[in-house]
Amino acid sequence: MIRVIARKELRELVRDGRFQLGGALMVLLQVAALLFGWRHTTAMQAERVAAQTVARSAWTTQGDKNPHLAAHYGMYVFKPAATLAFLDPGTDAFVGVTLKLQAHEQELPHDAAASDGTAVGRFGQLSAAAVLQLLVPLLIIALGFALWSGERERGTLRQLAASGVHPRQLLAGKALGLGVALLLLLLPAVLVAGLALAVGGDAGAWTRFAALVPAYGLYFGVIIAVTLWVSARAASSRTALVALLGLWCATSLVVPRLASDVAGRAVPLPTAEVLARRVHATLAQGLPQGLPREEHIDKISKALLAKQGFAGAESMMDDALLQGLELQAEAEYENAVFDYHVTALLAAMARQERVAQWAAALSPLLAIRSLSMALAGTDFDHHRAFAQQAEQFRRSLVLAMNDDFARNAGAAGWQYKANRQLWQQAAPFALQPPALGQVWADQQVAWTMLAAWMVAAGLGATLAARRMQVV
């Protein structure tokens, strides 16, 4: 029975001019967005690989020099473009893709706000995600606003009611018909995306793509259910359309902006300039409630000496070895300062993100946006993983340089120079993106919110269908 109703709805929709025109536009937009995104992503990735190769070459061919100076010279690392960035570029365009790694400096996380903002603001990029998140709901509204109210207005609702079909079956049939119509319109885009992945995607990208499908399916399910709910409740098709467009504006434009503002007010973040000032002040004075800088470094030095078996024997040590250990003590003190500020900043960002995630209770768009960026590997969590791994890489590099200085400088001291052999020992930076399981865990709120929306909208649509007045 449900299939019969769905087939009827589909046949009616397909023969409707709205479907033909809207559908053609949607397919064109989707395919254009995907092709544009694919071209942009592959070009970006090629540029980054080339830049990373140049940066690596600049490091390994920097010439002979003191290893600590080499640590100052540092190197650039580039964030590889996520394969699925062609679907959802997420925050990539806002958070930057390169970090300079050098002794005594850590690049601090910034631009978390890029995760927020209005979806429309990002629509300028014409990404497939923007089309899916913003325009497809409008298409669902255009195709579905009169599915119930139109039956009432045409008078066919009486025929349906007189036929003895259960309202629940009618609702399921209408939802299925609309869903299949949508699937037909999205199929070309799915095929293009699949083709793009077949050309340049790995197994991980396929898995993430496979996870994106049910996420968007759930999102469209919510929109379909809400559309049918409103259509069943509205006194006329015109009222249904106005109400649905109002809801779209509220959930797609107003709530995301408000959520971002509320999160920013609830958990204010320091500006990059203020944060840098605070870090430098702490570096100069010492950690709050901790030892002053010099005493702190001295304490770390002693610990390092003890670890090396030189406790109390500084006067008998090689100057270079002592200097090398002191340099490392200073680096570790700086790391402690960076960790102190970065931990506080990341905690504040996480609180901000939680506020924004819970705001998905008011807008399913916020939930799917978060899920989409996360599964595409372009959300702030992925950028944070890049920044954290790059920082670990920096610390290892500095440690290796200081260690070489301490072990090999000997009487030459600061005149000691290491060569290409040492530079080549530093393995190239390789980003390990968060595993899908980790992404799943991080996105639990978004999944829960989307599921809650589905349950609530489904329940509302069912009740509205059962309570529909035939006359």
Partner 1 sequence: MAPRSSVPPVLEAIGLRKTYGDVVALHGLDLSIAAGEIFCLLGANGAGKTTTIQLFLGFIPPTAGCVRILGQDVATHALQTKQHIAYIPENVMLYPNLTGLENLKFFTTLAGHGDLDRATLGTYLDRAGLAPEAAGRRVGTYSKGMRQKVGIAMAMAKGAQALLLDEPTSGLDPKGSNEFSRLLQTMSAAGVGILMATHDIFRSKEIGARVGIMKHGQLVACMGTEDLSHSDLERIYLEHMHD
Q: Footprint of partner 1 on this chain (CB under 8 A)?
A: 1, 4-5, 8, 11-12, 15-16, 154-156, 158-166, 470-471
Q: Which two tokens stand for residue 297?
A: 């470094």
Q: Which is nearer to partner 1, 176 or 259 (CB)?
A: 176
Q: How far is the CB of 137 from partner 1 (least distance, A)?
A: 24
Q: How far is the CB of 160 from partner 1 (least distance, A)?
A: 7
Q: How far is the CB of 188 from partner 1 (least distance, A)?
A: 24
Q: Which is nearer to partner 1, 16 or 111 (CB)?
A: 16
Contacts of 277 (CB under 8 A, 6+ apart): none
Q: How far is the CB of 4 from partner 1 (least distance, A)?
A: 5
Q: How far is the CB of 163 from partner 1 (least distance, A)?
A: 4
Q: What angle do CA 58, 77, 437 make, to 5 degrees?
A: 150
- Alpha-carbon distance of 337 to 288, in angstroms, equals 10
Q: How far is the CB of 11 from partner 1 (least distance, A)?
A: 6
What are the percentages of helix, strand and coil residues in the chain, rounded to 5? 80, 5, 20
State how far the alpha carbon of 364 is from the alpha carbons of 43, 329, 442, in Å: 32, 50, 17
State how far the alpha carbon of 306 is from the alpha carbons of 297, 315, 319, in Å: 14, 14, 17
Q: How far is the CB of 164 from partner 1 (least distance, A)?
A: 3
Cβ–Cβ < 8 Å for 202, 377: no
Strands 75-78 vs 98-101: parallel, antiparallel or unpaired: antiparallel
Q: Which is nearer to partner 1, 10 or 128 (CB)?
A: 10
Q: Which is nearer to partner 1, 61 or 159 (CB)?
A: 159
Q: How far is the CB of 122 from partner 1 (least distance, A)?
A: 37
User: What does residue 82 show for φ and ψ, rounded to 5 degrees?
Assistant: -65, 140
Q: Which is nearer to partner 1, 155 or 437 (CB)?
A: 155
Q: How far is the CB of 174 from partner 1 (least distance, A)?
A: 13
Q: What is the secondary structure of 157-207 as a DSSP string?
A: HHHHHHHT--HHHHHHHHHHHHHHHHHHHHHHHHHHHHHHHHHH--HHHHH
Q: How far is the CB of 7 from partner 1 (least distance, A)?
A: 9
Q: Which is nearer to partner 1, 4 or 49 (CB)?
A: 4
Q: Which is nearer to partner 1, 160 or 287 (CB)?
A: 160
Q: Which is nearer to partner 1, 88 or 151 (CB)?
A: 151
Q: Which is nearer to partner 1, 19 or 216 (CB)?
A: 19
Q: Classify residue 137 as exposed, middle or buried by CB count within 10 Å of its CB (0-12, 13-18, 19+).
A: buried
Cβ–Cβ < 8 Å for 446, 454: no
Q: Classify residue 33 as exposed, middle or buried by CB count within 10 Å of its CB (0-12, 13-18, 19+).
A: buried
- Alpha-carbon distance of 418 to 430, in angstroms, equals 24
Element (DSSP H or E) covering residue 255 = helix 255-266
- Alpha-carbon distance of 294 to 208, in angstroms, equals 49
The amino acid at residue 178 is: L
Q: Which is nearer to partner 1, 5 or 304 (CB)?
A: 5
Q: How far is the CB of 364 from partner 1 (least distance, A)?
A: 31
Q: Which is nearer to partner 1, 14 or 267 (CB)?
A: 14
Cβ–Cβ < 8 Å for 413, 66: no
Strand partners, 100: 76
Looking up tokens 């601090």 gives: 108
